[in-house]
Amino acid sequence: MTNNYELYKVFYWAAKTGSLTQAANALFLTQPSVSHAIKQLEESFGLTLFYRNSKGVSLTQEGALLYSYIEQSQILISLAEKKMAELKNLDTGVLRIGGSDSLFKHYLLPYIEGFHHRYPDVGIQLLHGTTPEIMGYLKEGKIDLGVARMPIVDSHIEVREGIQLQDCFVAGCAYADLKDKVIPLAELLEHPLVLFSRNSRARMAITELFQEYGYELKPEIEVGSVDLLIELARKGLGVSYVAREFVSKELEEGSLFEIRLDVELPPSQVGIMNMRNMPLTSAAQKFIEEFR
C-alpha cells in the first residue's frame, strides 16, 4: 500500500488518457517517470493495473476497480481546488461582522455597501451585540471581525484603530434654556438623563468620567439603541449622551442642540477586532484592507 498521492495522480491520468505519453504531457513529466510511478503503484498493491495494447495502455480488471475510486477522489479534489480559487478571488464565501447597531448604521454601512458592490457574490452576515458579546462571538468563531469602541484589552484579540468619535450631551427644544450656555456637571445632573445600557462602552466611559469628578450618574431612562436615544432627546424626555458624529443631521437641522459643559469630554476610538494568530478568510482580509 502507498500513501503517495502523486502515484495515484499518475495512475489517474494514464487510465483517463489510455496513454503514458499523454499522461506525461498532462503532468509535465517524462514518460519514463510515468512508467516508474505506475510500476511503484503496482508493486505496492502486488497487482497488475495496466496492460499494453496497440493504442497505448488499458486497465486490467483490478485497475478498473481502483480507477472507479480514484476518479471520485480526483473530482472532489478538483472541486475543492475550484472552491479555494473562488474563495481567494472572492467569487464566493461569507463575511461575518459583529458590532453595535449604531456603529453598523453610522460608521460601517458605507464600507459594507462598497464591499458588497465590489464583491456581490460574497454573502454578508451582521451580528449585533455589546462589546463583551462581540468579543465572545469572535472567540466562539461566530464572526470573522468585530467592531467596537476601545479600549479592548484581551491578549487573544488583535485590534486595529478605526475612526475617532466625540461624545456629547444633546437635548431638544424642551431644554432650550440650556442652549448657548456653559453649564457645570452638577447642573447637568439636575436634568433627566437618557443613557445607553450599563454594559455599553459609551456608558462605561461617561460613568468613569463623572466618578472622577465625584458624581454618580443615575439615568431616568436606559436604552440599547442609538436611534431611540436620539428620538427620546428630540421628544424632550431627557438629555441624551451620544456620539456627535451620530447626530450630525439633527444638530444641523436644529432638532437637537449640543449642551456645552465646563469640562472637556474625551474622544473615543473605534477598533476593528479579529482573533490573534488565527488566519483571516479572504473576504475578511479584503474588508480590513478597504476598511483602512
96: number of Cβ within 10 Å: 20
Mean pLDDT of all residues in the chain? 91
* pLDDT tens track for 241-258: 999 999 999 999 999 999
3-state SS string for 126-154: EEECCHHHHHHHHHHCCCCEEEEECCCCC
**pLDDT score of 21:** 93
Residue 1 has pLDDT above 60, yes or no: no
275 and 157 belong to one structural domain: yes
Q: Tell me, what CATH number does 69's domain have?
A: 1.10.10.10
Residue 182 has pLDDT above 90, yes or no: yes
142 and 18 belong to one structural domain: no
| Pairing verdict, β 257-261 and 268-275 | unpaired
Domain that holds residue 56: 5-88
**Per-residue confidence band for 76, with pLDDT thresholds at 50, 70 and 90:** confident
* pLDDT tens track for 273-287: 999 988 888 899 889
Check: CB of residue 224 under 8 Å from CB of residue 233. Answer: no
Average pLDDT over residues 1-16: 85
**pLDDT score of 221:** 95
Backbone angles phi, psi at 130, to 5 degrees: -80, 170
Among 88, 105, 135, the domain boundary falls at 88
**pLDDT score of 236:** 94
Task: Name the pTM for this structure.
Answer: 0.69
185 and 107 belong to one structural domain: no
180 and 245 belong to one structural domain: yes
Among 88, 120, 138, the domain boundary falls at 88
74 and 204 belong to one structural domain: no
**pLDDT score of 96:** 93
Check: CB of residue 98 under 8 Å from CB of residue 142. Answer: yes
Q: How many domains does the chain have?
A: 3
274 and 256 belong to one structural domain: no
Among 70, 88, 106, the domain boundary falls at 88
What burial class does residue 270 get, using C-beta atoms within 10 Å of its C-beta: 0-12 exposed, 13-18 middle, 19+ buried? Answer: buried
44 and 183 belong to one structural domain: no
54 and 82 belong to one structural domain: yes
Q: What is the dihedral of CA 278, 283, 288, 292, to 10 degrees?
A: 160
74 and 106 belong to one structural domain: no
144 and 277 belong to one structural domain: yes
67 and 133 belong to one structural domain: no
> For 71, what's the count of Cα atoms within 13 Å in the CB-facing half-sphere?
10
The CA–CA distances, whole Å, from 156 to 3, 99, 283 equal: 37, 18, 21
Alpha helices in 47-122 (DSSP H): 61-88, 101-103, 109-118
Check: CB of residue 138 under 8 Å from CB of residue 96. Answer: no
285 and 220 belong to one structural domain: no
Q: Tell me, what CATH number does 285's domain have?
A: 3.40.190.10
All 3 cell numbers of residue 19?
496513454
